[in-house]
Structure 1
Amino acid sequence: MHGEYKVPGGKLVVVDLETAGGVITEFALAGDFFLEPDDALLDINRAVVGLPETADVPTIASAIRHALPEGAQLLGFTPESVGTAVRRALVTASTWSDFDWQIVRDPAVSPLMNLALDEVLTQRVGDGLRAPTLRIWEWDRSAVVIGSFQSLRNEVDPEGAAKHGFDVVRRISGGGAMMMGAGQIITYSLYAPASLVAGLTFADSYAFLDDWVLQALRSVGIEASYQPLNDITSPHGKIGGAAQKRLANGGILHHATLSYDIDGQVMTEVLRIGREKLSDKGTTSAAKRVDPIRSQTGMSRDDIIEAFMGEFRRFTGAETGHVTEQELAAAEELVRTKFSTEQWLRRVP
């Protein structure tokens, strides 16, 4: 069995193993990490042999830690990352390169259509009717998109939204509200099969699926990192956040919104950002919570998106694709029957 795990912001961990009688009988660790002393690699290999094939990541990591010599240095990986690679091998997880990816950046549609397309394309990937896809959102009007479980009245100031021309809509994933002002943010969605994140905890899957965008941000001069559970940050502050929805058919929706040039004052008038949330983020002003990409790069939004797509192509070998007429029709029907309805919008009043 073979398993791979790219440590977010770190190195690639590769394991090969065999099992018999319910235990791991042979094990070999490899990767582009750094490890001192050299023979600590053999200590790690010996620590994993004999573990039950049902061992979870903490159990595997604990066995490795106990086996390491005093003063051993692991750079670019951890005992937990080895455990994750083992779990991915045991459940036969896929890697990014196992799929023929597409990148979609089609003309702008309404915010409601973007939400409906997320559900339609995730369903189709899960059903095996579409290749795994990265889609860059473009929209034809401003909107506030609230999370699936957020209270409408607690999150949005209707007078502020109306004053600044923001529609209010609800998505299928959890997480917090995002403001989709014209030219102010960059939003993308990944539609992937569940096998890509097999063996990962739900929390770890966030950083795993967004590691490519951290590399893209670094390529344009932003020292980006991931802050659990779902924030993308830099030394100057928060850049954006991610959310997920997993469908019963095995399709995974993972999407993220990054701030390009947000007007912090408008945000405070449209969103009801409570003191507890600000305190949790360690800030005293909503306007300071989001650090725009523009202020750190000086690049246009289009140039940033091109850099993102270029990094994703390099990372996955993705080809250019488009949403099909059939998929658009299905999304339009979902807008009519679900996303545009008061029942959906106000399902958490």
Structure 2
Amino acid sequence: METWRLLTNRSSNAFYNMAVDEAIMILHSKNKVPPTLRFYSWKPAALSLGYFQKAKEEINYPKCQEEEIDLVRRLTGGRAILHDQELTYSLIIREDFNLLADSIEKSYQQISSGLVRGLQQLLGIPAELKAVERGKKAPVGHSAACFDAPSWYEVILNNKKLIGSAQRRKDGTILQHGSLPLAINAEKIFKLLNYSSEQQRKKASRIFTLKSTSLRKAGYNFSHSELENAIAAGLSQSLGIELTEGKLTAAEIKLAQKLVLEKYQTQDWNFKR
């Protein structure tokens, strides 16, 4: 059974959160730190962009500043997420461990199965996987926001998207992020996105509300530690791994601080598209 490091929740700003995940990814790719499952939250609230999103076209940056919402670009793909009342996980492992499938879609299934198992078995939350319908493409959303439509193998609750995940593979290493909202404020999210008219904004917000959910909206009120324990146990069982609590190394902290200053806080990175 493979031993992984477990890093439990810590609130940090958007730039440091993204820098830590990349620092772990870089040093794990060099075999200097173990495979890692990390839980964290965001303080202050932040809007994260998918790697390929066009910031100037899709995001109302002056509104973000007015609302005191940090803006950061992720390494992973997908669409914009407002990280506010939520628990975030990241999972980092080299491909040569041969634990996750070569196919991104299949590896989503493996990871999501663990998320669902933990939520179901330990917390009694009847979460499910969004099943693949033969011959159909993954659902397409209607806005720049994540959570407005679940893709295949994402976690749903009451047939609405609950956990949004995105993956990046680089230098033979897999990084997957996932966002589990405790609560969602659709009006707040859609203030931060650009639309051609208020009518289009309201329409996108309504669709988002119909297709997404949060734990509190579904009637569940668990703490971060309860959710962390459940998800960690579910992933441990599904992936056949052993999790041992640890902490960031001095090298990871130093590299993360460097990445904050030289990358994640910069306009060049956040507005590169």
Letter in 2 for 1:242: S
1:180 to 2:105 alignment: no
Letter in 2 for 1:251: T
Instruction: Give the stretch that moved more between structures: 333-342 or 150-159.
Output: 150-159
**Pairs within 5 Å for 1:1-349:** 97=1, 99-181=2-84, 184-195=85-96, 196=98, 200-219=102-121, 220=123, 221-226=125-130, 228-229=151-152, 231-248=154-171, 250-272=172-194, 284-302=206-224, 303-315=226-238, 316-348=241-273
Deviations 1:3-40 (A, max 9, x none): xxxxxxxxxxxxxxxxxxxxxxxxxxxxxxxxxxxxxx
**Cα distance in 1, alignment partners of residues 202 and 126 from structure 2:** 24
TM-score by length of 1: 0.64
**Cα distance in 2, alignment partners of residues 292 and 136 from structure 1:** 18
- The CA deviation at 1:176 is 0.9
Letter in 2 for 1:185: E
- The CA deviation at 1:340 is 1.1
The answer on whether the counterparts of 2:116 and 2:234 sit within 8 Å (CA) in structure 1 is: no
Letter in 2 for 1:291: T
**Cα distance in 1, alignment partners of residues 57 and 75 from structure 2:** 18
Letter in 2 for 1:341: T
Percent identity among equivalent residues? 22
SS of the residue corresponding to residue 240 of structure 1 reads: strand
Deviations 1:175-223 (A, max 9, x none): 1111111xx1121000111033565322212222222101112222223
Instruction: Give the stretch that moved more between structures: 167-176 or 210-219.
Output: 210-219
- The CA deviation at 1:297 is 4.4
Deviations 1:265-312 (A, max 9, x none): 111212347999999x9x953333320012324222323233223334
Deviations 1:97-131 (A, max 9, x none): 3x211110153222101111111111222211111
**Cα distance in 2, alignment partners of residues 203 and 273 from structure 1:** 31
Count of aligned positions = 246
Letter in 2 for 1:216: G
Alpha-carbon spacing, 1:298–1:284, altered in 2? closer, same or farther (3 Å): closer
Structure 2: segments with no counterpart, 5+ residues = 132-150
Greater RCO, CA 8 A, separation 6+: 2
**Cα distance in 2, alignment partners of residues 211 and 277 from structure 1:** 34
Deviations 1:136-186 (A, max 9, x none): 0123211100011101023322243233321111011111111111xx112
SS of the residue corresponding to residue 42 of structure 2 reads: coil
The answer on whether the counterparts of 2:16 and 2:257 sit within 8 Å (CA) in structure 1 is: yes
- The CA deviation at 1:346 is 1.0
The answer on whether the counterparts of 1:101 and 1:319 sit within 8 Å (CA) in structure 2 is: yes
Letter in 2 for 1:190: L
Runs of 4+ in structure 1 deviating by more than 6 angstroms, as ranges, are 273-279
